[in-house]
Amino acid sequence: MPKAELARNAAGRMVPTEINGREAVPYKGVAAHRPTGTRAAPAIPTVMDYPDCGNKTVENIKAALEAAGIRDGMTISTHHHLRNGDFVANAVFEAAAELGVKDLMWFPSASFPCHASMIDHMKNGVVHHIEGSMNGPLGAFCSSGGMRGMGVLRSHGGRYQAVQDGEVHIDIAVIAAPTADPFGNAHGLDGPAACGLLGFALADSQYADKVIVVTDTLIEFPCVPWQIQGNYVDYVTTMDAIGDASKIVSGTTQITKSPDRLRIAEMTAQFVREAGIMEQGFSFQAGAGGTALSFAIFLMEMMREAGVTARFVRGGSTQYLTRMLEEGLTDYILDGQTFDLDGVRSMRENPTHVNTSPFTSYNYHGKGNFASMLDCVVLGATEVDVNFNANVVTHSDGQLLHGIGGWQNCLFSKCTILPIPSFRDRIPVLVDEVTTLCGPGELIDVIVTERGIAINPRREDLLSAVSGSGLPIRPIEEIKAEVETIVGGPPAKPAFGDRVVAAIKWVDGTVIDSVRQLG
Amino acid sequence: MPKAELARNAAGRMVPTEINGREAVPYKGVAAHRPTGTRAAPAIPTVMDYPDCGNKTVENIKAALEAAGIRDGMTISTHHHLRNGDFVANAVFEAAAELGVKDLMWFPSASFPCHASMIDHMKNGVVHHIEGSMNGPLGAFCSSGGMRGMGVLRSHGGRYQAVQDGEVHIDIAVIAAPTADPFGNAHGLDGPAACGLLGFALADSQYADKVIVVTDTLIEFPCVPWQIQGNYVDYVTTMDAIGDASKIVSGTTQITKSPDRLRIAEMTAQFVREAGIMEQGFSFQAGAGGTALSFAIFLMEMMREAGVTARFVRGGSTQYLTRMLEEGLTDYILDGQTFDLDGVRSMRENPTHVNTSPFTSYNYHGKGNFASMLDCVVLGATEVDVNFNANVVTHSDGQLLHGIGGWQNCLFSKCTILPIPSFRDRIPVLVDEVTTLCGPGELIDVIVTERGIAINPRREDLLSAVSGSGLPIRPIEEIKAEVETIVGGPPAKPAFGDRVVAAIKWVDGTVIDSVRQLG
């Protein structure tokens, strides 16, 4: 791969101006890039090319890929609702390898350790590169420079935006479906691989040239609700099992047991209450990590005490969110993915547990989206700098390890709170400058650490709201200095090479930062 | 309007080759026209142009139209789920008139007698012409040559196809919503103007440049289920009442009391049973007219007797269909519109009473649709000729009186049955050649009259299936001759002028026939 031309973007980061042969726009600021042009426009199909009886089944994935006209250089997409239990993406690229196809671009909504076999496909030429979150071994492979093309990391909303805007053209979308009918209607509510919903595959179904649904639970038409609409689907096929249920959703999600994390979670909930956010009819979103879960439990207790109910909470849903719903502490769960079995059950049973998609929740190139309507959101980060800029994809050692998920999209809430330990494994989390910029500081309002709470100086309203609350509000620089005293100074800078191995997109499709090869 | 250039299409009908300044393709045969090009592609929006808080409300319809940039010559669309009780379309064009805008094209999914004020708007120049079904006075106005542009009648599926394919570009869509939130999420399940669902407005929401939601029941976000997604909506506004509930849905739908019609309905059900269509897991669709309702009731009784249940029935739903669902005689209702209060209630309460859209059910330029999967469909007609061609928009007097609705789309079922009286008001319904061709005979399988059942000779399978059943199977020519003997001959030919006042589209966007000015 030739060395990328770089330009300095509005955040001061050097970013490629061309990505995998396509022009890239450097980040211009949080809300500064105005899109031009029109939405992607797939070819007009005709029912003449589809069976009248509605039966689109073909023998297996290989036959479906052949029928879809797979050939060298195509972009093949998959979704990640089956998380680390997914069998489908691997089966697709095994079939592609058997067919002798080369240089594919894999466009997953995220990838997981279970997809480590893609490393072999990249080594033997079947896969050219991956655009999508690369968790674990694939991130390490990318960081080490093993991928021929440049990795592109997008938020969930950014992925929808990229497909909608025609920035990524999907030739063949393969949609793993826990339940489907022969017409291609599909949902995630039932079947051995039930994952709740299929929102991450929505853009793929709407915009790909060819769409293949793969299921292990083929039922008679109609498969209701059609979270994926068969009218977008070309072929349907089956596998014995599309996933390992035990790795798709947790049996139950676990709260943190670390005393420090529990304290951070409790302070976060206290902050939400004291800042006047926890008011009748409010809304919030928290992830499924141990600290975020504990935050939700603390907040739930405070809501009960105060007699306050939420209008809606956003999932990733867990047993704790479904308990809130069923107890009447929230009118609705607006859910993007179900993280445990109870989330799946609740979505199946409760009409007020609503499945959403990156289109409704996160698409920056829509006529509004849900993310900016949230009263507060509680997120993680690998690093935060003194200007409240945050990193979520690399650690201080420079290794690409995590995807962006909905993280960037969520920053648009009215109050973004990052509850984080001030150091991990004796490496400070608060730094002078983040290794990789994923979220601009102007969108990040509050950092909650075990050593105190730092409020972004831009948010004078929050500073005055919690003054006199007794909460340990401190300048971020002070907390950072304290941590450095304890661990013996700031983290060592990673030994980056020159080559850009991955680009980090902002929610509007511009490039906010890049990741360089390690060593 | 200059006289249209005409060409003879594959059905032998003379049709315009240009419609309202746009090239038109003459009908080539039932499944002979292959579309080219790509789906319509609206401009890419950005959330930067929408309020972060999600509140898109503006003061009134006039303010919404101004904000949407209304100007001369634009295309304004509305939907017809409020049927003859709609207040919104009239309010929109009154506001447009007040704003001094001229030459608009009104693109309703259908129009009703309540929209007769459009005649004034056409006379005073606010509205240039209408593309959409014109029931009652608007049809008569069009037939008399009063409209400056050419009327275009499309099926429900054809309307979706035309918008999707970019054949009709909607500048501003106005969506009457029985319940909505300030973000623009909307549904038809609740509120004083509850109409069940909003599927006819789906294409409008997806493809129009600007989308306005008008409601009389504005609720707090989120309005669930979002049958219309707020992410497609630009403005939300309110009216005291969007419709007259008593004219939106019937209190209850009524079966026919005519002994002839009852006999036709019963014979139709008998045919369905004897032909082997009424088998375990079958599917059917019947309309909400008196004969079709009676057919459903007779069939229901036969199903009970035989111990047979349907996998799905297609609505327009009525109290009879909801009874089938709730009694377990069908697993699902796949519903395009609710015709009575019980239909609305059932859709609100039963997850197996599923709302559908012209996209799922009827779009000919999709990757299949539901219509061709039906085991049988029972439809009406104003005329049928000896080759089984049928008319549904004009009577034998040549006057445009009805819309196409889903009629053309439904013809693709496995068995299309038209239960019709052999004459109406002493005018034969069976003719040598239909006044206006809406449905090609090769798609119409069975005609059931009070004088016997005629089976299309192409359907040898049906002929042999019912031989020996005791049903009065007769050649269509024989029934027609008998009727003519009774009423004194075939109907008089209408006195058409030369000018084409309306074009009838086929499901693929080609022109299957034209309607000429009367007198």
**A421-459: per-residue pLDDT in tens?**
999 999 999 999 999 999 999 999 999 999 999 999 999
Which residue bears the tokens 């009457």? Answer: B176
Q: pLDDT-derived band of residue B4, with 50, 70 and 90 as boundaries? A: low
Q: What is the structure's pLDDT at A3?
A: 61
Interface contact A363-B231, CB threshold 8 A = yes
Interface contact B46-A508, CB threshold 8 A = yes
The pTM is what? 0.97
Q: What is the pLDDT of residues B26-66, one digit of tens each?
A: 999 999 999 999 999 999 999 999 999 999 999 999 999 99
Q: Of the candidates B35, B44, B232, which has its C-beta nearest A37's C-beta?
A: B44
User: Which positions ≥6 away from A183 have C-beta within 8 Å?
Assistant: A54, A55, A56, A221, A222, A223, A230, A233, A236, B368, B373
Q: Does A259 touch chain B (CB under 8 A)?
A: no
Q: What is the structure's pLDDT at A157?
A: 98
User: Which positions ≥6 away from B349 have C-beta within 8 Å?
Assistant: none
Which of B28, B30, B33, B44 to mutate against chain A (most A CBs within 10 Å)?
A: B44
Task: Please check the confidence at residue A136 and state whether its pLDDT lies above 90.
Answer: no
Q: What is the pLDDT of residues A173-205, one digit of tens each?
A: 999 999 999 999 999 999 999 999 999 999 999
Q: Find residues 232-251 of chain B whose CB sits inside 8 Å of chain A.
A: 232-234
User: Which positions ≥6 away from A493 have C-beta within 8 Å?
Assistant: none
Chain B neighbors of A311, CB-CB under 8 A: 220-222
Interface contact B35-A44, CB threshold 8 A = yes
Q: Of the candidates B31, B38, B50, which has its C-beta nearest A48's C-beta?
A: B31
Distance from CA of A412 to the nearest CA of B (A): 8
Tell me which of A194, A225, A248 is where a domain ends: A248
Q: Find residues 78-137 of chain B whose CB sits inside 8 Å of chain A.
A: none
Chain B neighbors of A354, CB-CB under 8 A: 222, 224-225
Q: Are A103 and A147 in contact (CB under 8 A)?
A: no
Q: Are residues B227 and B365 in the same domain?
A: no
Task: Please check the confidence at residue A1 and state whether its pLDDT lies above 60.
Answer: no
Chain A neighbors of B355, CB-CB under 8 A: none
Q: Does B305 touch chain A (CB under 8 A)?
A: no
Q: Are residues A231 and A357 in the same domain?
A: no
Q: Are residues B423 and B300 in the same domain?
A: yes
Q: Is residue A100 part of a domain?
A: yes
Q: Are residues B409 and B488 in the same domain?
A: yes
Chain B neighbors of A310, CB-CB under 8 A: none
Interface contact B367-A234, CB threshold 8 A = yes
Q: What is the structure's pLDDT at A113?
A: 94
Q: Are residues B233 and B319 in the same domain?
A: no
Task: Please check the confidence at residue A74 and state whether its pLDDT lies above 90.
Answer: yes
Which of B38, B47, B330, B347 to mutate against chain A (most A CBs within 10 Å)?
A: B47
Task: Please check the confidence at residue A112 and state whether its pLDDT lies above 80.
Answer: yes
Residue B210: closest C-alpha in chain A: A367
Interface contact A359-B231, CB threshold 8 A = yes
User: Which positions ≥6 away from A33 have C-beta within 8 Å?
Assistant: A25, A27, A506, A508, A509, A510
Interface contact B45-A367, CB threshold 8 A = yes
Higher pLDDT, A2 or A343: A343
Task: Please check the confidence at residue B489 and state whether its pLDDT lies above 80.
Answer: yes
Distance from CA of A353 to the nearest CA of B (A): 10
Q: What is the structure's pLDDT at B433?
A: 97
Q: Does A263 touch chain B (CB under 8 A)?
A: no
Q: Are B54 and A368 in contact (CB under 8 A)?
A: yes
Chain A neighbors of B354, CB-CB under 8 A: 222, 224-225
Q: pLDDT-derived band of residue B249, with 50, 70 and 90 as boundaries? A: confident
Chain A neighbors of B35, CB-CB under 8 A: 44-46
Chain A neighbors of B315, CB-CB under 8 A: none
Q: Find residues 409-438 of chain A whose CB sits inside 8 Å of chain B.
A: 412, 414
Q: Tell me, what amino acid is at B381?
A: A
Beta-bridge partners for A503? A152, A514
Q: Are residues B232 and B355 in the same domain?
A: no
Q: Is residue B151 part of a domain?
A: no
User: Which positions ≥6 away from B461 have C-beta within 8 Å?
Assistant: none
Task: Please check the confidence at residue B252 and state whether its pLDDT lies above 80.
Answer: no
Q: Are residues A424 and A493 in the same domain?
A: yes
Q: What is the structure's pLDDT at A397?
A: 93
Rounded distance between C-alpha atoms, residue B2 and residue B211, angstroms: 33
Q: pLDDT-derived band of residue B135, with 50, 70 and 90 as boundaries? A: confident
Q: Are A222 and B283 in contact (CB under 8 A)?
A: no
Tell me which of B223, B248, B273 is where a domain ends: B248
User: Which positions ≥6 away from A443 have C-beta within 8 Å?
Assistant: A30, A411, A412, A416
Q: Are residues B216 and B272 in the same domain?
A: no
Query: Pick from B304, B313, B307: which is nearest to B284 by CA?
Result: B313
Q: Is residue A222 part of a domain?
A: yes
Which of A33, A44, A235 to mutate against chain B (most B CBs within 10 Å)?
A: A44
Query: Pick from B491, B436, B507, B422: which is nearest to B139 by CA?
Result: B436
Task: Please check the confidence at residue B1 and state whether its pLDDT lies above 70.
Answer: no
Share of chain A above pLDDT 70, in %: 99
Q: What is the structure's pLDDT at B3?
A: 61
Q: Of the candidates A50, A220, A373, which has its C-beta nearest B367's C-beta?
A: A50
Which of A25, A46, A347, A414 to mutate against chain B (most B CBs within 10 Å)?
A: A46
Average pLDDT over residues A206-220: 98
Query: Pick from A285, A303, A291, A300: which is nearest to A253 by CA?
Result: A291
Q: Does A31 touch chain B (CB under 8 A)?
A: yes
Task: Please check the confidence at residue B371 and state whether its pLDDT lies above 70.
Answer: yes
Half-sphere exposure in the Cβ direction for B452 (13 Å, CA) = 16
Distance from CA of A46 to the nearest CA of B (A): 4
Q: What is the pLDDT of residues A377-403, one digit of tens each?
A: 999 999 999 999 999 999 999 999 899
Q: Are B375 and B282 in contact (CB under 8 A)?
A: yes
Q: What is the pLDDT of residues B149-203, one digit of tens each?
A: 999 999 999 999 999 999 999 999 999 999 999 999 999 999 999 999 999 999 9
Coil vs helix vs strand at B202: helix
Task: Please check the confidence at residue B2 and state whether its pLDDT lies above 60.
Answer: no
The domain tally of chain B equals 2
Which residues of A28-185 form beta strands (DSSP E)?
Answer: 75-78, 104-108, 127-130, 151-153, 172-177, 179-180
CATH number for the domain that contains residue B358: 3.40.1080.10
Range of A92's domain? 50-131+168-248
User: Residue length, chain A?
Assistant: 519
Three-state SS string over A20-67 comes to CCEECCECCCCCCCCCCCECCCCECCCHHHCCCCCCCECCCHHHHHHH
Q: Which two tokens stand for residue B377?
A: 């469909």
Chain A neighbors of B363, CB-CB under 8 A: 47, 231
Interface contact A45-B367, CB threshold 8 A = yes
Q: Find residues 340-369 of chain B whose CB sits inside 8 Å of chain A.
A: 351-352, 354, 359-360, 363-369
Average pLDDT over residues A93-103: 98
Q: Is residue A351 part of a domain?
A: yes
Q: Are residues B179 and B263 in the same domain?
A: no
pLDDT mean across residues, chain B: 96
Q: Is residue A112 part of a domain?
A: yes
Interface contact A221-B312, CB threshold 8 A = yes
Q: Of the candidates A37, A48, A224, which has its C-beta nearest B352's C-beta?
A: A224
Q: Is residue A443 part of a domain?
A: yes
Rounded distance between C-alpha atoms, residue B189 and residue B195, angstroms: 6
Q: What is the pLDDT of residues B436-473, one digit of tens each?
A: 999 999 999 999 999 999 999 999 999 999 999 999 99
Interface contact A40-B41, CB threshold 8 A = yes
Average pLDDT over residues A297-318: 96
Chain B neighbors of A56, CB-CB under 8 A: 368
Q: What is the structure's pLDDT at B136?
A: 86
Q: pLDDT-derived band of residue A2, with 50, 70 and 90 as boundaries? A: low
Q: What is the structure's pLDDT at A253?
A: 77
Q: What is the pLDDT of residues B110-122, one digit of tens each?
A: 999 999 999 999 9
pLDDT mean across residues, chain A: 96
Distance from CA of B273 to the nearest CA of A (A): 21
**Sign of torsion, CA B150 B153 B158 B160?**
positive
Q: What is the structure's pLDDT at B315?
A: 86
Q: Of the candidates B42, B332, B363, which has its C-beta nearest A38's C-beta?
A: B42
In DSSP notation, A197-211 reads --GGGHHHHHH-SEE
Q: Does B483 touch chain A (CB under 8 A)?
A: no
Chain B neighbors of A45, CB-CB under 8 A: 35, 365-367
Distances (CA, A) of A114 to A86, A89, A131, A133, B223: 7, 10, 17, 13, 38
**Sign of torsion, CA B89 B90 B94 B95?**
negative
Rounded distance between C-alpha atoms, residue A245 and residue A239, angstroms: 14
Q: Of the candidates B46, B332, B334, which has its C-beta nearest A365's C-beta?
A: B46
Query: Pick from B484, B380, B393: which is nearest to B432 by CA?
Result: B484
Average pLDDT over residues B352-381: 98
Rounded distance between C-alpha atoms, residue A120 and residue A106, angstroms: 13
Tell me which of A192, A215, A248 is where a domain ends: A248
Q: Is residue B109 part of a domain?
A: yes
Residue A34: closest C-alpha in chain B: B46
Q: Is residue B8 part of a domain?
A: no
Chain A neighbors of B375, CB-CB under 8 A: none
Q: What is the pLDDT of residues A218-276, one digit of tens each?
A: 999 999 999 999 999 999 999 999 999 999 987 777 888 899 999 999 999 999 999 99
Q: Are A27 and A10 in contact (CB under 8 A)?
A: yes
Q: Does A282 touch chain B (CB under 8 A)?
A: no
Q: What is the structure's pLDDT at B255?
A: 82
Residue A39: closest C-alpha in chain B: B41
Q: Are A118 and A142 in contact (CB under 8 A)?
A: no
Chain B neighbors of A309, CB-CB under 8 A: none
Q: Does A53 touch chain B (CB under 8 A)?
A: yes
Distance from CA of A11 to the nearest CA of B (A): 19
Q: Are residues B324 and B344 in the same domain?
A: yes
User: Which positions ≥6 away from B11 have C-beta within 8 Å?
Assistant: B27, B389, B437, B440, B512, B513
Q: Are residues A348 and A488 in the same domain?
A: yes
Q: Are residues B333 and B451 in the same domain?
A: yes
Distance from CA of B310 to the nearest CA of A (A): 12
Q: What ipTM is given for this predicted complex?
A: 0.97
Q: Which two tokens stand for residue A186?
A: 């599909």
Q: What is the structure's pLDDT at A83?
A: 95
Chain A neighbors of B206, CB-CB under 8 A: none
